[in-house]
Amino acid sequence: MMPVVQPTVVLNRQRIIQNISRIQFKAQQTGTRFRPHFKTHHSAQVAEIFRELGIAHITVSSVDMAIYFADHGWTDICIAFPVNYLDWDRISALSKAITLHVIVDSIEVAEFIVRHAQHPLHIWIDCDTGYHRTGIPWEHLDDIGQMAETLSGGLHIRLEGIITHAGESYSCRSLAEILDVFNYTLHRMQHVQRHLASLGYPHAISLGDTPTVSRCTSLAGIDEVRPGNLVFYDLTQLTIGSCTAQDIAIAVACPVVSKYTHRHELLVHGGGVHLSKDRIESNGRTIFGRVIDPISWDFEEPYMDIVRLCQEHGMIKVSPEQFERISIGDTIYIAPVHSCMVMDLFFGEMVCFTPT
Amino acid sequence: MMPVVQPTVVLNRQRIIQNISRIQFKAQQTGTRFRPHFKTHHSAQVAEIFRELGIAHITVSSVDMAIYFADHGWTDICIAFPVNYLDWDRISALSKAITLHVIVDSIEVAEFIVRHAQHPLHIWIDCDTGYHRTGIPWEHLDDIGQMAETLSGGLHIRLEGIITHAGESYSCRSLAEILDVFNYTLHRMQHVQRHLASLGYPHAISLGDTPTVSRCTSLAGIDEVRPGNLVFYDLTQLTIGSCTAQDIAIAVACPVVSKYTHRHELLVHGGGVHLSKDRIESNGRTIFGRVIDPISWDFEEPYMDIVRLCQEHGMIKVSPEQFERISIGDTIYIAPVHSCMVMDLFFGEMVCFTPT
């Protein structure tokens, strides 16, 4: 293992392939379209792994990101963020160039789109099934019906159905809780689906979020799933119960720059601008990352955690034995709290892969 | 005010000039060198304002950042992060090209530098005066003396003295607490200074951190100060008591993309990849940013706060009246929790300035 001079993202290719294949297989069992969310990696390099596995439909979270992946040859993209009509020129240009899916949750914007669309545009009605971020509340069937009616007026509009992101699954801490979110989300979406069907509108169902899609046993009744984090997972997903430690496929390799004898702490170059300020509670303390072994890709025990994080500094608490073993100049591999934020921070930089 | 299509950093030039000038004046009173930390803005555009005000010495937090500013014509730079000897080639090249200051806190690295330095290199001994991040504990006078002895052996080494960052001032919540940190930090540094003086070594004192430097009444006895955040301040500094709301000179302008009637919340395009995941507690809730008026640059009352933050989504809680007043397509100005992280996230992108 070469020492790294600066913080560097290292990806475990074998685990990435396993993680993608598992969901791909589950989706194939029920004829569900697997449209992975590429915001997690935001990387043309990583995207190639998906392409080699036969993935052709993708999700992104911004117009910038849609343009980036369109430029890298992806031709069927869903922007899973409500349409910002101020950005219409770029959205319209994309809808001419590729098969573009968008989501809407306000009548005002839907009317704007109907008036302005000049190229085929696939639209999903965003439903709020409990996360309370975006979407029309699922119980408001009249509003959802009115939205479908508005959209059907557009010459170039291809209404697809309803979409949701059950982000409340990020508060789960057990399989039972994850499955509960999955079940009520699907029931609520099917309730809306029946209503749209009764009115004669298209009514496909698209679900997101990595925890429920990772742990549910069947995707029956779901037309499309859009998990993103599954490609790498991270400490957050491990805490939720979406994955095992053996599924985590991303680490930030950081150089040890100094050591502090009296408190058994290591300084690594690896701070908030590399790992983000996302944090989790673990064993009664707030942590910003956990050290893994670079050979086994398993946690080093006793756990070595980043317990404080500044812009460029990461402070790792270690045992007396670990303190003796680790030297200045060594490379430490850190499993991050939130892989999506890490990849955003390293956007445009080369990432390294472990050998397959 | 033109509406923004995408999240955009807006800087208040007049407040920036005021913020810089206030510290510059205070430093001039005591002949203290003002060496502002440029990690906060990390922007050649903003750096020009400092240059116009006569600033010539700067601080950065990484070798990358030192190279960036050297490329933009800055010729006296301190890298306030312990030397990573794996990165020696770049450090050595910089020390040839410009006046370079570095910090060390381990004998092992000091010995490496003494063996390898081929160009003049200014060195500060990093002391831990209470923050427990980097540095030799200030009470360990023997270790500090040994470090000075080691460094004096180097042909090209210019030992300057001792440096500290009293980062514990970020836990302060009142002027009294800030001044307490300032006073004990200075006393501890002067204790070390007397020891080095008694041994005949150089013993200048360099202090960092925005809270103490902003609020102390005099910098007497201090040779150099390196605050960074003072250029913009932010909600964290306001909470600490380092500044007033009228000093905050940075906002992220975000478009309103959707509205949710039943919960009086606005969706803005402005998430963790723009504002970072830094947060503070305010009025019993966790917030990620607070809306200001784009004309007065004062908080809009009742406060409109970002109460939830995803990768691209910001959710702003508003009153019924504000909800009626604000429309989809409007631009909202958000004072961030941590300005340094925002500027890192926008690194390489153009920032806007208010008219002077």
The CATH number linked to A281 is 2.40.37.20
Neighbour tally for B289: CB within 10 Å: 33
Do residues A314 and A334 lie in contact, with contact meaning Cβ atoms separated by under 8 Å? Answer: yes
**Is A239 a member of any domain?**
no
Q: How far apart are CA A288 and CA A326, in angstroms?
A: 20
- Tell me whether residues A84 and B259 touch, CB distance under 8 A: no
Q: Nearest residue of B to residue A87 by CA position?
A: B5
In angstroms, the separation between the Cα of residue A29 and the nearest Cα of chain B is 31
Residues in B touching A338 (Cβ below 8 Å): 277
B271 lies in the same domain as B136: no
Residue B239 has pLDDT above 70, yes or no: yes
Chain CA centroid to CA B9, Å: 17
Residues B217 and B253 occupy one common structural domain: no
Query: Would you state the pLDDT for residue B307?
Result: 97
Tokens of A9: 């993202």
Does residue A54 share a domain with residue A155? yes
Mean pLDDT of chain A: 97
Q: Provide mean pLDDT across the span A309-327.
A: 97
Which pLDDT band, with edges at 50, 70 and 90, does A1 fall under?
low
Same domain assignment for residues B197 and B274: no
Per-residue pLDDT, A67: 98
* Among B342, B343, B344, B270, residue whose Cα is nearest residue B304: B270
Mean pLDDT along residues B50-54: 98
Neighbour count for residue A295 (Cβ, 10 Å): 9
In degrees, to the nearest 5, what angle opens at C-alpha A292 toward C-alphas A287 and A294? 150
Domain boundary, last residue among A232, A262, A281: A232
Asked if pLDDT for residue B144 goes beyond 80, the answer is yes
Does residue B38 lie in a domain region? no
The answer to whether A33 and A224 have CB atoms below 8 angstroms apart is yes
B341/A277 Cβ within 8 A: yes
Q: Which residues have C-beta within 8 Å of that of residue B96, sequence separation ≥ 6?
A: B118, B119
> Is A183 in the same domain as A269?
no
* A269/B84 touch (CB, cutoff 8 Å), yes or no: yes
Give the residue-averaged pLDDT of B77-85. Answer: 98
Unique residue bearing structure tokens 């060390």: B104
Q: Is the pLDDT of residue B187 over 80?
A: yes
- H or E element, residue A143: helix A141-152
What SS3 class is residue A144?
Answer: helix
Q: In which band, very low, low, confident or very high, does the pLDDT at A356 lie, cut at 50, 70 and 90?
A: low
The separation between CA A296 and the C-alpha centre of its own chain, rounded to angstroms, equals 25
Other C-beta atoms closer than 10 Å to the C-beta of B18 total 13
- pLDDT for A129 equals 98
CB proximity A39 to B under 8 Å: yes
Tell me which chain B residue has its CA closest to the CA of residue A268: B84
> Each residue of B93-111: pLDDT tens digit?
999 999 999 999 999 999 9
| Residue B80 is assigned to a structural domain of this protein | yes
Identify the pLDDT of residue B356.
Answer: 59
Mean pLDDT of A282-307: 95
> Residue A311 in contact with residue B61, Cβ under 8 Å?
yes
Q: Measure B29 CA to nearest chain A CA, in Å.
A: 31
Number of independent structural domains in chain B: 2
Q: For residue B118, what are its two tokens?
A: 């081929």
Residues B250 and B221 in one domain: no
The three-state secondary structure class of A327 is: coil
Euclidean distance between CA atoms B85 and B104, whole angstroms: 10
- Note whether B349 and B276 are same-domain residues: yes
- Last-in-domain residue among A183, A209, A232: A232
Q: How far apart are the first and last CA of chain B?
A: 15
Q: What is the DSSP string of A280-301?
A: EEETTEEESEEEE-TTT-SB-S
* Residue B171, pLDDT score: 96
Q: Which of residues 335-354 of B touch A (CB under 8 A)?
A: 338, 340-341, 344-345
Q: What is the pLDDT of residue A341?
A: 95
- pLDDT band of residue A141 (cuts 50, 70, 90) is very high
Q: How far is B133 from chain A (nearest CA, A)?
A: 7
> What radius of gyration, in Å, describes the C-alpha atoms of chain A?
22
Q: Which residue has tokens 């756990």?
A: A303
B311 contact A CB<8A: yes
Q: Does any domain span residue A100?
A: yes
Chain B CB contacts of A328 under 8 Å are 85, 106, 108-109
Q: Which amino acid is at B121?
A: L
Number of Cβ within 10 Å of residue B122's Cβ equals 20
**Going by C-beta distance under 8 Å and a sequence separation of 6 or more, which residues neighbour residue B62?**
A269, A312, B39, B79, B81
Under DSSP, the state recorded for B74 is: -
Q: How many CB pairs under 8 A join A and B?
A: 129
Nearest to B137 among A105, A262, A311 (CB): A262
CATH label of the domain that carries residue B176: 3.20.20.10
pLDDT, average across residues A312-340:
98
Mean pLDDT of A303-315: 97
> Is B133 in contact with A255 (Cβ distance < 8 A)?
no
What are the φ/ψ torsions at residue A153 (nearest 5 degrees)?
A: -75, -10
| Shortest CA distance from A106: residue in chain B | B258
Verify that B81 and B222 share a domain, yes or no. Answer: yes
Same domain, A251 and A316: yes
Chain A residues touching residue B64 (CB < 8 angstroms) = 6
A22 and A60 share one domain: yes
Touching A: B residues 267-296, CB under 8 Å: 267, 269, 272-273, 276-279
Q: Is residue B60 part of a domain?
A: no
Query: What is the pLDDT averaged over residues B132-147?
Result: 98
Indicate if the pLDDT at residue A2 is higher than 80.
no
Residue A237 lies in a domain: no
Note whether B155 and B297 are same-domain residues: no
Contact of A334 with A252, CB cutoff 8 Å: yes
Residue B43 belongs to some domain of the structure: no
ipTM for this prediction: 0.94
Looking at the domain assignment, is residue B333 inside a domain?
A: yes
Q: At what angle do helices B141-152 and B175-199 cross, to 10 degrees?
A: 50
β-sheet bridge partners, residue A77: A58, A100
The arithmetic mean of pLDDT across residues B30-39, rounded, is: 98
Domain encompassing residue B281 = 245-353
Same domain (yes/no): B80, B223:
yes
pLDDT tens digits for A106-140? Answer: 999 999 999 999 999 999 999 999 999 999 999 99
Which residues have a Cβ under 8 Å from the Cβ of A234 and sit 6 or more positions away? A248, A250, A335, A336, A337, A338, A339
Q: How far is CA B64 from CA B59, B68, B104, B176, B256, in A?
A: 12, 6, 18, 37, 35
Amino acid at position A241, single letter? G
Find the closest chain A residue to B3 by CA distance. A86
